Each structure stands twice: as structure tokens, then as C-alpha cells.
Structure 1
């Protein structure tokens, strides 16, 4: 009997010791393989410049741009200093096709000052394929006069033909040779509006432009005929890299509108450093029915950071009756 109890105790001890060893011989179930998610990335469309990326699953590249400007300005005829801010943001889609580049662009802008707040509104909306554009866009006519903003300075204003952005159908061809271009545009005479009505008394304005852009600069000639206003205009514009760090812009134009006007301007820009640029210019506006107008501006732009500009400008204008001074300081950022 004693032997039997000793045998049972030995067997129990053997099982107790062997059980953990047997358990370690049984492989534990492994976790199922979970496929890792593909790495997220954006394909950049470097051929179109910064800010463009490819829409996944398409051949279309999407880009954005924008600007915010805060301004403080004063005219000597006012006893107050005014402040304003404006902002805009644009969205552009580009697709390379066998017929040329297909572009769609839309931009919204809002302005505000010390008297009222303006709701955001579209100021660009157009489609282009190769050299052809249809929609609301800047006029094909070259409206550049002075450098800077030239606040209040005589130029292409409402006293002439009010040449501004317009609903249009235009073609601008650049295949005549290196740097050469020519274009023709039909633009609504009722400008700065997204819609237009046409009849025998309200036909589109016809605008033509030819020019050349080379390493030394660009020169072009713009013409315009408006049946609605019974007026026409012609203007030549040249922008030349004179010497190192010095640029110049000259314009000469004739406007046969309600008042015949001759326009002449000259401006120069100097790059003091990579971050400091200055400009100065003058304009002369001779009109048959009113006193001649002349004026000018001088300004300085400091860019301490990429896409950040601090700008100061002083302008002067004399219309024969009054001489007006205006000053402006502006902070702007673009992307």
C-alpha cells in the first residue's frame, strides 16, 4: 500500500514537471499578415511652375494662387488717412492635349475700405485651349503705363476708353518665331461684367496686339476699335533691360474717343539689392478739350521674405486746376 502511494506521487510529480515543457513545444498561433497601406504622396507638376500638383487618377494638374494686401493711403485734398484691404484667390486646372494646353481658371476677389464691406465676387473665369480663350479675362490691350500702383495718376482711365477687363473671345499666337506673338480679341464694350448683350448698337470692341519678347526686353503695339463708342486707340509699349540692375518702360499712345488724347510716359526701375527695388516715372496726358495733365510717382519695395513685400509710394498729378499729392504704404503677400 505504501508502495502504491509512492508510485502515484511520483507520477503526479512527473506530469507536473513535464506539462510546461510540453506546452512550450506547441507553436502559438501567429497574427495574420495585414498588408501595409501604400505611402501617401502627391505628384508635383513641376513643368507648370510651383504650386501645381496632379489630381490622382487623372492627367490634369491643379494649381492655386492668391494675394492679400493691406494699404494705408492719403491724398492732400483729404483731411484723413484711409485704410483698405483686398484679397483674392485663384484656382487653375491644366491638361496637356493634342490640340494644345487646356486651361480653366477662376479667381475670386474681395475689397474693403473704411466706408463699406464688399462681398467676394469673381474677377476671372475663362477657358483656353492652345492660343484661344473664351470667358472673362484681362483685356488683350496692353494697359501698362508706370511702375508701381500710380494711385491717381493720369493714364488709361475713364476719360479715355475705359479699357478694362472684359468678356471676350481671343486668340494669341506665339508660333511666328522665338519671342514673336500676335493676337486678336473680340471684347464686350460694356466692360467689367460677366455677361453682355449684343445688337447693332452694341457690337464687341475689336482689339489687336503684336509684339516680340527677347533677352533685352519686350516691345509691343496694341490697337482698339469700338463701334459702340465710335472711338479707336493705338499704343506702343516698350520694356527694356537698359543696363545691369536697371529696367525702363516707355509708352506712347493716341486715343480718339470723346476727347482726343495723346499719352506719353517714361519710367525706370532700379534693383538696389536682391530684396530692395525702387522705381520712378512720369506721365504726360495732352487733351484737346481740357488742360494737359502731367504727373509721376516714386516708390520703394522691400521684400524681407519670399512672397512678402513692403511698399511705399508717393504720387503727384497736376490737371491745370489742382495739383494733388498722394502717399501710400502697403503690405502684401502672394502665393
Structure 2
């Protein structure tokens, strides 16, 4: 037998043995489970693998920088490090907001959750007398954390007194006539009649020294809205159980064209037992959790004009009975999808009330609390 024959035989044997071992080593892989899009609840949702639940993750990163004086809480006053003298400085704040939504269809209706947590780093004032305006980490804020099954919602939300009727325009500065207390734990029920008519009833805890309920009796908010293609009419009423006082707001929205929209909102509340002589600044001057504006009535009016697909103009006027008035206007420009830059200017006039006060006839107005204030803000925001 030749050497060539021996080599060929040896190679054939190795190949045969290797082939047998390779056949024994074959492992059947399970099919990969890819993430599936869930379009039931809108864009951005996907099915959590192995479940019928849909998940959406989002949020934004924002940077604000501003100048000017807006009362004692504007964040624009500080003390000189070497001398302690009061002086102006930039207002600035960076925020990261993280949001999660879930949704799942059940025999009792849609089961949804929503949460939002905010992290801030920036500066703010401690008050006109101690303007310690240093940049630092600010509190972590749990803005939303609620569960909703059908029309029933429970958990941490903003008050229906504010969310159901809508916010007072697309402006960044809105201090002169606050329109509600926002943060609260709540038990709410939303009803949609399906013909443009909707309603809400909300039992609320409130928040803060003045706003939190002081017994087993909750605050109560009720609202009704009628919406059609050209706009909407909305009304909300709130009962403050701490003081037995009632506040209300009525709003009209009009879509003049597809690019141009207007709104007007009027708030009214009785001081009643809000003005009870308490030593607490807000409480003592007739401002509760819902009626936070000065005097009995306040108004907010403005509009949005969409100049192009990327550019919009926003304007808002506001004022109250005790002669606090303001106007704010901004230009919002979408640089690229998800990234918006906004430039805003504002004018505030404080009449008989500075921030946190009602009767300022004997107040010695400082630079930190000017009766006439002008300023501006630039905001950069990346939303995802």
C-alpha cells in the first residue's frame, strides 16, 4: 500500500469521526422573541415580552437660563461672596424628567399607570432678606405616580382643578396669578359620554402647610367639559375642606384656524374663612390650596399661532383683583425633531400684593421685589 493511500485513508477517518461528533453537538435554539409594537395607546409603546402589557419610556432634559426681577422668588438675587452685598445674577436650572407609562386591556377596561420623577440642579432665592442664590442639587420630585382602571384613577397626580380645565397657556413664567395648587394624592373618576361631553370628580389630599387636609374630610373637585371641533367649554369647582371655601374656574378654547388658537379663563373664589388671621403668610391673606390668586377673581387669556411646522408664537395675559398683572410672550422653535428652543420675555406689575402678600401699602419695595418687573428666559429642551 502506498503512502498516498495511507494518508487518504487516515484523512477520511478523521473526517468521519469529526462529522459524527459535530452531529452529536447540534443544539436546537429556541426561536427569538422580538419586541412587538403596541399601537393601542399611541406612539412609543411596545409589548413587554411574555405579557399583554404595553410599556412606554420617555422624558426630557431641560436647561433654563433667565434674567430680571420677578418678586422675591425669582431666583435672580444673590449675596456677593466677599462683601455680602445684594446683587443680581442669572436664574438657571437643569432638569431631567423620567417618565413611564403602561397600559393593558382587561375585562373592566384599560388598566393604565403613569409615573414621572424630576431631578433638578440650579439656583433659587431664600427670600428678599436672605437671597442665598447658590446653585445646588434640589429636591427629587415625584410629579406623577397613579394607577387607572377604566375611569377610576388613584395615586399622586396634579389636582383636577388644574389638569381638567387645562394650563394657562404655553408660557414659561406665570407667577402673578397662580391658578391652583397642583400636587396632591387623589381618588378620581373620569367619565366620557362619547359625544364631546366629559366630567370628573376628584377627592384630594392637597399638599403643603395650607393645602393638606387637617381631618378625614377630603377636598372635593368636580368638572364638566364640552368639546367640539372648533373648541371647548370647561368648568371646574373646588371645595376646600380646611376652610369650607369654594373656588371655581371657567374656560373657553377656540380654534380659529388649524394654526391659530385662543383661550380665556376666569377664576372666582370667596375669601371666606381663608382670611382667618393665621400667622401663616399665605393662609392669613386669603389664599388656600385652590384659590391661590389675590382677591376674589383672576383672569388668564392668550393664544398660540403656529407660524410654520417648526415655529410657534405664544402670548398670555393674566391678572387678579388686587391689581397684579403680567404679560408674557415667547417664540418656540423646533431645531430638530425632539429638540426645542424657546425665548420668552415678560412684564409683571405688582399692585397691592407682592409675592406671598396681599396688603403692601406699607411695604418698602426693594430691588428684589420691584412693583414693575421686566425679564426673560431661554429654554432648551430635548424630549424623548
Name the counterpart of 1:97: 106
Deviation at 1:211, TM superposition (A): 0.4
Provide Cα deviations, 1:113-168, integer angstroms capped at 9, x if missing partner: 13231242422211111100111111111352232123433232xxxxx5322111
Deviation at 1:273, TM superposition (A): 0.7
Residues 213 and 242 in structure 2, CA contact (< 8 A), matched pair in contact too: no
Q: Does 1:62 align with 2:55?
A: yes
CA RMSD of aligned residues (A): 2.5
Name the counterpart of 1:84: 93
Deviation at 1:25, TM superposition (A): 6.7
**Structure 2: distance between partners of 1:21 and 1:325:** 95
Name the counterpart of 1:145: 168
Q: Does 1:238 align with 2:245?
A: no
Name the counterpart of 2:202: 185
Deviates more, 1:231-240 or 1:306-315: 231-240
Residues 176 and 324 in structure 2, CA contact (< 8 A), matched pair in contact too: no
**Structure 2: distance between partners of 1:125 and 1:229:** 28
**Structure 1: distance between partners of 2:48 and 2:114:** 16
CA change 1:249–1:28 in 2 (3 A) is same
Residues 151 and 315 in structure 1, CA contact (< 8 A), matched pair in contact too: no
Query: Which SS does the other structure have where 2:263 is aligned?
Result: strand
Out of 290, 302, 309, which is 1:267 matched to? 302
Name the counterpart of 2:79: none
Provide Cα deviations, 1:52-76, integer angstroms capped at 9, x if missing partner: 2211111111211211110001224
Q: Does 1:28 align with 2:42?
A: no
Query: Which SS does the other structure have where 1:28 is aligned?
Result: helix
Q: Does 1:312 align with 2:343?
A: yes
**Structure 1: distance between partners of 2:169 and 2:320:** 13
Point out the structure with max Rg over C-alpha.
1
Deviation at 1:192, TM superposition (A): 9.7
**Structure 2: distance between partners of 1:80 and 1:101:** 49
Q: Does 1:123 align with 2:160?
A: no
TM-score, with structure 2 as normaliser? 0.74
Residues 150 and 296 in structure 1, CA contact (< 8 A), matched pair in contact too: no
Residues 214 and 242 in structure 2, CA contact (< 8 A), matched pair in contact too: no
Q: Does 1:299 align with 2:333?
A: no
Residues 206 and 213 in structure 2, CA contact (< 8 A), matched pair in contact too: no
Residues 126 and 137 in structure 1, CA contact (< 8 A), matched pair in contact too: yes
Provide Cα deviations, 1:95-129, integer angstroms capped at 9, x if missing partner: 11010111122221112213231242422211111
Out of 16, 41, 44, which is 2:34 matched to? 41
Deviation at 1:23, TM superposition (A): 5.4
**Structure 2: distance between partners of 1:220 and 1:192:** 29
Deviates more, 1:270-279 or 1:253-262: 253-262
Name the counterpart of 2:215: 199
Name the counterpart of 2:320: 285
Query: Which SS does the other structure have where 1:145 is aligned?
Result: coil
Residues 225 and 235 in structure 2, CA contact (< 8 A), matched pair in contact too: yes
Deviation at 1:18, TM superposition (A): 4.2
**Structure 2: distance between partners of 1:197 and 1:272:** 45
Deviates more, 1:140-149 or 1:325-334: 140-149
Out of 163, 176, 182, which is 1:164 matched to? 182
CA change 1:28–1:307 in 2 (3 A) is same
As a proportion of its length, which structure holds more strand?
1
Residues 327 and 347 in structure 2, CA contact (< 8 A), matched pair in contact too: yes
Residues 33 and 49 in structure 2, CA contact (< 8 A), matched pair in contact too: no
Residues 189 and 226 in structure 1, CA contact (< 8 A), matched pair in contact too: no
TM-score, with structure 1 as normaliser? 0.84
Deviation at 1:218, TM superposition (A): 2.4
CA change 1:101–1:34 in 2 (3 A) is same
Deviation at 1:208, TM superposition (A): 0.4
**Structure 2: distance between partners of 1:22 and 1:117:** 78
Query: Which SS does the other structure have where 2:40 is aligned?
Result: helix
- 5+ residue gaps, structure 2: 71-75, 77-87, 124-133, 276-285, 287-294, 353-370
**Matched residue count:** 309
Name the counterpart of 1:328: 377
